[in-house]
Amino acid sequence: MADPKEPGGPDDPNVDWGLGGGSNETGDSAAAAPAAERILNQDEIDSLLGFDVGDGGDQNKTGIRAIVNSALVSYERLPMLEIVFDRLVRLMTTSLRNFTSDNVEVSLDSITSIRFGDYLNSIPLPAILSVFRAEELDNYGLFTVDSNLIYSIVDVLLGGRRGTAAMRIEGRPYTTIERTLVQRMIEVILADMVQAFEPLAPISFTLDRLETNPRFAAIARPANAAILVKLRIDMEDRGGRIELMLPYATLEPIRKLLLQQFMGEKFGRDSIWENHLATELWSTRVEIDAILDEQKLPLNRVMNLEIGQTIMLNAGPDSPIELRCGGVPLLTGRMGRMGSSVAVRIEGIAKRNDSKAY
């Protein structure tokens, strides 16, 4: 039996056991070295970077991609935003039916957070990008109309036959007629957005310009976070997708309103409590002062007034009297008598300066 410490034995430190057996040739040792390195396959690389093909959505991202996108604000922190867009879908369904005189179905596909630069790079061309301005918010938003919807709208508005797919002509820019029809559709949608945001805040949306190159539609910095709303418009066998992009900077002025919880169709208003409060206000008793005359006196004279002294008023029996409540002028009238009581007959509404603080 061989000694374990003999040359070539199991305990010989000069023997390379990387391949499961000893090797006494230099070439065999060189071939064994690369096999010891761990090489990742494509699935492991995708998992590390967070680009798994089978995840089926943007939720639960992992890897480096999750670290990069960790600074994005999730739209779920704005509960009222989804309610506004649901209201927008209902309004668009009605308005686009009237606009196209066709059976239109609008559906909300998804609401996600994305970086503005990533979205511009992912827009499938050709497409029409509509830049609109939110007047009260002093910022901009973006509508992207894909090619399928553009040709479908043109086909419907110009009397295309039902049951036939819209004809697509690739490799040419959009004509003036196509741009004009898409612009009219965008104006209809912007009017619906005004109504969708109305219960939350009065905002006016106006169309600024139409672009076909994403570089000319840069309304925010590439690294800025934004809300992406994907809408699907179906007109029987025709239709397409329209995407609404709202930077978080645009929504910042109404962020507190978007944070409130949804309390019903009236956005938190309670009609029962409002009616009760209005009824109680109408039955509330208030104190009204009848002012006969006013004079300005020096402070030393007022401090030296004594019992028995007389102050002459510049008012006669027929002088007008002003009625005030809490220092606010309300009514004017004339002094009179009813029985044993002094009374005032109302003659009109008092003029007051609203800029004056009482």
User: What is the pLDDT, as a whole number, of residue 328?
Assistant: 87
Q: pLDDT tier at 90 (50, 70, 90 boundaries)?
A: very high
Residue (of 274, 88, 345) closest to 193 by Cα position:
88
Q: In what order do the strands lie in the sheet with 328-338?
A: 289-291, 320-325, 328-338, 341-349
CA–CA separation, 169 and 154 (whole Å): 13
Mean pLDDT calculated for residue range 111-120: 88
Place of tokens 């827009």: 123
3-state DSSP call for residue 159?
coil
Q: What domains appear along the chain, each with residue ranges and CATH number?
A: 40-71 (no CATH), 75-258 (3.40.1550.10), 289-349 (2.30.330.10)
Closest CA to 328 of 293, 296, 291, 294: 291
Tell me the percentage of the chain whose pLDDT exceeds 70: 74
Give residue 272's pLDDT band: very low, low, confident or very high (50, 70, 90): confident
Q: Could you report the per-residue pLDDT of 139-188, keeping only the tens digit for each? A: 999 999 988 888 888 888 887 776 565 556 666 788 888 899 999 999 99
Say which DSSP state 230 is in: E
Asked if residue 124 has pLDDT above 60, the reply is yes
Cβ count near 81 (within 10 Å): 22
pTM of structure: 0.56
Distance CA 106, CA 191 (A): 16
CA 326, distance to chain mean position in Å, is 42
CA–CA gap between residue 331 and residue 317 (Å, rounded): 18
Residue 21: predicted pLDDT: 46
Report residue 342 as tokens: 């002094």
